[in-house]
Amino acid sequence: MDYTDLYIDGQWREGASATRFDVLNPATEQVIASVASAEIADADAALDAAEAAMKEWAARTPRARSEVLRKAWELMTARLGDFAHLITLENGKARADAMGEATYAAEFFRWFAEEAVRADGILMHAPASGARIIVQHKPAGIAVLITPWNYPAAMGTRKIAPALAAGCAVIIKPASETPLTMLALMPLLEEAGVPRGLVNVLPSKRTGALVDHMLHDPRVRVVSFTGSTAVGRKLLYSAADQVLKPAMELGGNAPLIVFEDADLDVAVEGTMLAKMRNLGEACTAANRIYVHESVAEAFTVKLSAAMSALKVGDGTDPSVDVGPLVNADTRNKVAAFVADAVSKGAKIECGGTTPNGIGFFYPPTVISNVPENADCVHDEIFGPVAAIQTFTDQEDVITRANNTEYGLVAYVFSEDMKRALQVCERLEFGMVGLNRGLVSDPAAPFGGVKQSGLGREGGHEGMLEFMETQYISASW
């Protein structure tokens, strides 16, 4: 069966308006599916279903909820290849990258199966009055989850799993570029024992109106969004009317600092991971690469060799390392960043030319001597372009790294642990990768500071985003 309709109350439905939209394979530019587009009436039906389902789910014991999530992990782990193939078809990323995402996505079910039984509270004596202070965490309510196109599986499970662990019902609005993976997850959740109506999926081309309507329904108490800071700001305005609990994982402009004492092989390997994971289409991607002047030439040669060795092509080919970007606009924006940097004095070390032909491809590219006024220094590249700048002074590079409105993630490479940790503590970012290019982990609290977001996903904190704290003052 093709899962291309709306998923509401455990049923597959045509949308209220019966309109549909096409999903393209970015490698071939061919239509791979036509998907139902949700309207306001569909959102109301999903809210009704979520309200009814949550009453029973929230009343279940934490262990009972845990077992369902554990089963979901087992089922998804057994079908990683199927999910990876679907991710590649609609997102474009290479097979190996898609398998990594599918594995990562499944792991959130296992992690939050374990966290579901750990919603710890407090019982203590009030120091002055002698009353008992009882603090407990309760499900917050229906959560609206808005997920991006760059991780069509993982950005969904990273929100669904903690919400269900907390006892909440959810309505998911997946990105219109990549709705198929999330829809395909629904039969698996049914098989795992998720009650009908607890999880609903509303793909739509009318995202703004649909989401705004749901955020103004009093039954909704949480909004969780992953995407750009610009959209996040708009959602926060809408969420303010109902004083919703917001969880926002927004944009990034990640600095990656390579000190003169870094192991260059480790630094290049980490940079490749931080830059090229998901083809650079990630808020965690290294965007500004600062290399100490004394090792900049050697680092650039090694990084360019590694980037040039990557094979570009259709991600369904197992031998391909780099697939296409998600759409033409994204590819054109990446090409414009390179052209702008070169016009201002940057040098292309490898790549840098948009290929002719079908598919939204752009080659792995390294540009050096990038000036501070280049557009790519201030905005997310969101593509396979490594932009290298140099530095000589530690204080200067810390200042430059922090000189952004964003604060999601930073990376530091140095063999001097004392200096490295001191630098990490001074970086104004929610996460730091030290001598490694990957920070994402279901067991860790993922999130940023400044205009990179609010709240955390993953770790114990991820479940608390879907819970409210209740305090009881008691005497007996």
Could you give the residue numbers annotated as active site?
Answer: 249, 283
CB atoms within 10 A of CB 358: 12
Question: Which H or E run includes 434?
Answer: strand 431-434
- Yes or no: say if 21 and 35 are a contact pair by the CB < 8 Å rule: yes
Please name the helix (run of DSSP H) or strand (run of DSSP E) that holds residue 173, with its range, or none.
Answer: strand 170-173
Neighbours of 302 (CB within 10 A): 18
8 Å CB contact between 207 and 42: no
**Alpha helix ranges (H) inside 122-276:** 154-166, 180-192, 207-215, 229-241, 264-276
Task: For residue 390, give the nearest of 289, 271, 285, 287 by alpha carbon.
Answer: 289
Which residues contact residue 278 at a Cβ distance below 8 angstroms, ignoring those fewer than 6 apart? 93, 97, 101, 150, 151, 285
Structure tokens at 356: 């002719």
Q: Which helix (H) or strand (E) holds 84?
A: helix 80-91
Q: Would you say 433 and 272 are in contact if contact means Cβ atoms under 8 Å apart?
A: no
Tell me how far CA of residue 76 lies from CA of 57, 83, 84, 104, 331, in angstroms: 22, 8, 11, 11, 32
Residue 454 has phi, psi (to 5 degrees) of: -135, 140
Element (H, E) at 467: strand 467-474
Helices (H), ranges, 344-416: 375-378, 394-402
Degrees to nearest 5, angle at CA 97 with 91 and 98: 50
